């Protein structure tokens, strides 16, 4: 490829087939396909995925930093028209509108606000565990993915609205579950284009839209209820209602508030829920890790619910979750599009190129991770933090688009895992087939079937501490 008289130095990559490039090969198993491409061609791979579109898969931490941090202004998100679910919320928006919305929302994620959510997290987890009591020791098998979704929705909903919308309005839970199912439904690539082209209103499409309509009703009712007294509760909705544009003095419209509430609801719940499912999948294969988690809890806090001041004492619990995010990052791919031609290391980047960063590949880069396929939570203990480049690990993104709720997710996971381990032993049903399914999030395709038994007796704080 050339621009003017100068040939461009483009990364190597698979040739694919005429017209379609590598689309047919990449679509059924994107992580597998791009992982093989990385192994064959290196840290920058050029892949044609359609007649009009070429992507660069970039897997070197320096390349990730170049795109997400150093030259982020040249690499916005690829343009997509606003969807019916997320609208023009923080997650899909770009440019000046995104910056405006980020300023509106940022106060809701102040560290003091996040700290105040810990009792809410404890209460929501406790209610779930009370429901688990009836299942304990009965041999009943259930999908823990459903419970993790309900728990995360409850916590995020209470953080946004104070009221537990999931528990008090069952139709909201049903709508959210239906929307997630529809989003993660797999279709053959040709079916997608056929449905879009012909605007077919399938039953699934109708259910998806009906779910959004039910969710919208709940959101607008909550906003209308709070308009007369925005500061009635110290929640995220109150913070957003009180926020004002420093230039105009105006606040957000009902539609803007609706979009941001939905973005927080969905971006905030599914990633944490999915990662908690993968945590139990991994713990079932590594009983020594689970025992060390129990020992840490016994030594640090015993059987009392965790409080804010306890979280730093539960460092191994958090490290386990961070290692899960390395191996199974829920938001498994980031894409940016070059506005102008650029240089990436030795390679030229033509304007319009999609830059794709896959965390499951970068997070296992053999140059930066010892035994990259192995589950080793010790990697994330403080004494080991400086042993890898900063951008070899980015489960929450990086730069100005770093996930606004990253700290909340880590706090929630630490609280939930601690309380679950204090009261129960989650037994993953042996022999089930667990299939990695990277769709909207990196899920287990069929969830995870488990049963419950009482937590094993601890040996007490002193013995547990010495055992380590």
Name residues whose C-beta falls within 8 Å of residue 262's C-beta, 6 or more positions apart in sequence.
85, 86, 87, 89, 215, 219
As a whole number, mean pLDDT of residues 218-246 equals 88
What does the block give as tokens for 15?
């040739």
Residue with tokens 């694919």: 16
Phi, then psi, of 422 in degrees rounded to 5? -65, -35
As a whole number, mean pLDDT of residues 343-353 equals 96
In sequence order, the β-bridge partners of residue 258 are: none
Q: Are 146 and 185 in contact (CB under 8 A)?
A: no
pTM of the model: 0.90
Longest dimension (CA), the chain: 75
pLDDT tops 60 at residue 192: no
Residue 5 has what pLDDT? 62
Structural domain contains residue 433? no
Q: Are 459 and 467 in contact (CB under 8 A)?
A: yes
In sequence order, the β-bridge partners of residue 46 are: 56
Structural domain contains residue 23? yes
- DSSP secondary structure letter of residue 72: G
Q: Are 100 and 277 in contact (CB under 8 A)?
A: no
Q: Are 160 and 120 in contact (CB under 8 A)?
A: no
Assign 21 to helix, strand or coil.
Answer: strand
Q: Which structural domain range is residue 10 located in?
A: 1-77+334-372
As a whole number, mean pLDDT of residues 231-237 equals 85
Residues of the chain with pLDDT > 90: what percent? Answer: 60
Structural domain contains residue 416? no
Structural domain contains residue 346? yes
Residue 28 has what pLDDT? 86
Strands (E), 51-148: 54-58, 142-143
Comparison of pLDDT for 203 and 345, the residue scoring more: 345
Instruction: Tell me the torsion sign for CA atoms 21, 80, 436, 215.
Output: negative
Q: Are 47 and 23 in contact (CB under 8 A)?
A: no
Assign 188 to helix, strand or coil.
Answer: coil
Structural domain contains residue 39? yes
Nearest-angstrom CA–CA distance, 14 and 9:
16
**pLDDT confidence of 137, banded at 50, 70, 90?**
confident
Closest CA to 406 of 334, 298, 333, 330: 330
DSSP string of 121-136?
HHHHHHHHHHHHGGGT
**pLDDT confidence of 204, banded at 50, 70, 90?**
low
As a whole number, mean pLDDT of residues 112-119 equals 89
Burial class (CB in 10 A: 0-12, 13-18, 19+), 432: middle
Residue 32 belongs to a domain with what CATH number? 3.30.43.20
Structural domain contains residue 267? no
The number of distinct structural domains making up the chain is: 1
Name residues whose C-beta falls within 8 Å of residue 450's C-beta, 6 or more positions apart in sequence.
141, 142, 143, 144, 280, 426, 427, 428, 429
Structural domain contains residue 195? no
Residue 173 has what pLDDT? 77
- DSSP secondary structure letter of residue 331: S
Residue 465 has what pLDDT? 36
**pLDDT confidence of 191, banded at 50, 70, 90?**
very low
pLDDT tops 50 at residue 461: no
Residue with tokens 């539609």: 255
Residue 179 has what pLDDT? 79
> What angle, rounded to 10 degrees, do the helices at 203-226 and 170-183 form?
140
What does the block give as tokens for 292?
């060390």
Structural domain contains residue 356? yes
Residue 46 has what pLDDT? 97
Residue 202 has what pLDDT? 62
Nearest-angstrom CA–CA distance, 58 and 38:
9
């Amino acid at each position: 490829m050339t621009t003017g008289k100068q040939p461009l130095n483009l990364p190597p990559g698979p040739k694919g087939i005429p017209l379609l490039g590598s689309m047919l090969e990449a679509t059924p198993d994107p992580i597998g396909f791009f992982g093989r491409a990385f192994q064959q061609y290196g840290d920058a791979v050029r892949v044609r995925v359609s007649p009009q579109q070429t992507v660069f898969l970039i897997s070197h931490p320096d390349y990730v930093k170049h795109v997400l941090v150093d030259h982020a202004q040249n690499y916005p998100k690829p343009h997509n028209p606003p969807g019916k679910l997320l609208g023009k919320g923080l997650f899909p928006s770009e440019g000046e509108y995104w910056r405006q919305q980020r300023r509106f929302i940022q106060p809701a994620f102040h560290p003091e606000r996040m700290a105040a959510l810990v009792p809410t997290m404890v209460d929501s987890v406790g209610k779930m565990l009370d429901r688990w009591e009836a299942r304990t020791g009965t041999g009943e098998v259930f999908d823990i993915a459903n419970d993790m979704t309900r728990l995360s929705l409850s916590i995020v909903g209470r953080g946004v609205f104070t009221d537990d919308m999931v528990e008090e309005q069952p139709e909201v839970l049903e709508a959210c579950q239906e929307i997630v199912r529809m989003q993660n439904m797999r279709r053959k690539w040709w079916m997608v284009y056929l449905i879009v082209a012909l605007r077919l209103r399938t039953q699934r499409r109708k259910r998806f839209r009906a779910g959004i309509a039910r969710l919208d009703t709940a959101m607008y009712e909550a906003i209308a209820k709070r308009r007369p007294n925005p500061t009635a509760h110290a929640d995220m909705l109150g913070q957003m209602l009180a926020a004002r544009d420093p230039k105009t003095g105006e606040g957000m419209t009902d539609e803007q508030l609706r979009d941001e509430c939905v973005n927080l609801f969905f971006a905030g719940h599914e990633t944490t829920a999915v990662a908690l499912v993968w945590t139990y999948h991994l713990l079932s294969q590594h009983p020594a890790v689970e025992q060390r988690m129990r020992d840490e809890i016994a030594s640090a806090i015993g059987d009392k619910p965790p409080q804010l001041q306890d979280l730093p004492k539960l460092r191994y619990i958090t490290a386990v979750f961070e290692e899960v995010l390395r191996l199974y990052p829920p938001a498994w791919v980031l894409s940016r599009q070059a506005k102008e031609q650029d240089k990436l290391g030795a390679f030229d980047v033509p304007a319009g190129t999609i830059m794709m960063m896959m965390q499951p590949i970068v997070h296992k880069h053999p140059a930066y991770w010892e035994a990259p396929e192995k589950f080793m939570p010790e990697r994330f203990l403080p004494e080991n933090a400086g042993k890898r480049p900063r951008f070899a690990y980015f489960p929450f993104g990086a730069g100005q688009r770093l996930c606004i709720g990253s700290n909340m997710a880590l706090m929630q996971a630490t609280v939930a895992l601690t309380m679950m381990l204090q009261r129960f032993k989650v037994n993953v049903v042996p022999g089930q087939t667990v299939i990695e399914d990277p769709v909207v999030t990196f899920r287990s395709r069929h969830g995870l079937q488990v049963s419950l038994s009482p937590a094993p007796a601890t040996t007490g704080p002193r013995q547990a501490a010495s055992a380590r």
